Structure 1
């Protein structure tokens, strides 16, 4: 084997896509088709394998080059297809939990705020208001204290309710709130409200991590 053939074999080995460490870079479909067409042209225009006995070394080099080029083309097409599948899947839609703000007469039945009562509430979260519509307040959740894992929480108004205010809590876009709920209804009476240091401390005590 000549020095030139050794160099050719070394180069082909370095770009061999079948090696465990080789990761073919994705190419556009047009580029992959061009590589495959060029490979077929080399094969069709090459010497007659059955009759060319005068230069076996050259014939062997041509066959090795053709095989390597075909492998690169196949690996490139596969990489492009896989990359396309990943792009098509896209990010999943955020999960949403719907709660009710309850009726406007909640204040008449309020119980005094106590961390022990807060601890018994099955749903508790912290989130920032991103949208306020005529019938709901939407929050992006940044922390779940208890009872859920949704990305978004929608606080819906009850039939006949005209305001999203909760026991004096006036929801505002961009403001962070702490929300506690029982049986799908947001608890007012100081158990839910703007995320002040005092209310955050009460939630941390009621729902220790």
Structure 2
């Protein structure tokens, strides 16, 4: 379980990436979001956070932040609050696969809600590869803040919760193309997320857990 605190990138150049802070609806990562429903800001332990209702609230951003990356880290701090079993809360979508529907190539964060707990579901899909990392036995309590991450180091795809490895698999990943992203829903408008987002970071290299977004006690 993660105590939300001052999330600051490490000083090393390796750790620098594109940061999205969810403390405003005006601009996120330098982009003006398309706002669906009525997501709203609340005061969290260390500043504002963006809250979604699990029914209609969502955002669309006009960029895939990991487009072109042969290796990557996608990480975020979020709070799942329950609701439907299947919830997709981050969908990074490419629109460049000839003959395929828009968004067929993608990188995903999802959760599965079981009673008062949840487990992580991450997924990468593109030409020649499709890999899910999920372990229903790794349950975490709802209503708390967590750091989650997925990485690809050129050979192996991995997922983490609070810096602890939860799954890994070898993947013939190839860089994804330009596209767009949705937050708190699938890119086609279903499987909404009920909970809150604080910050996300996207880095074009596979960071080890010690280089993930730092945090301390509030």
Superposition TM-score, scaled by structure 2 size: 0.22
Relative to its length, the structure with more helix (as a share) is 1
Relative to its length, the structure with more strand (as a share) is 2
Superposition TM-score, scaled by structure 1 size: 0.22
Q: Which of the pair has more CA radius of gyration?
A: 1
Greater relative contact order, per chain length (Cα 8 Å cut-off, separation 6+): 2
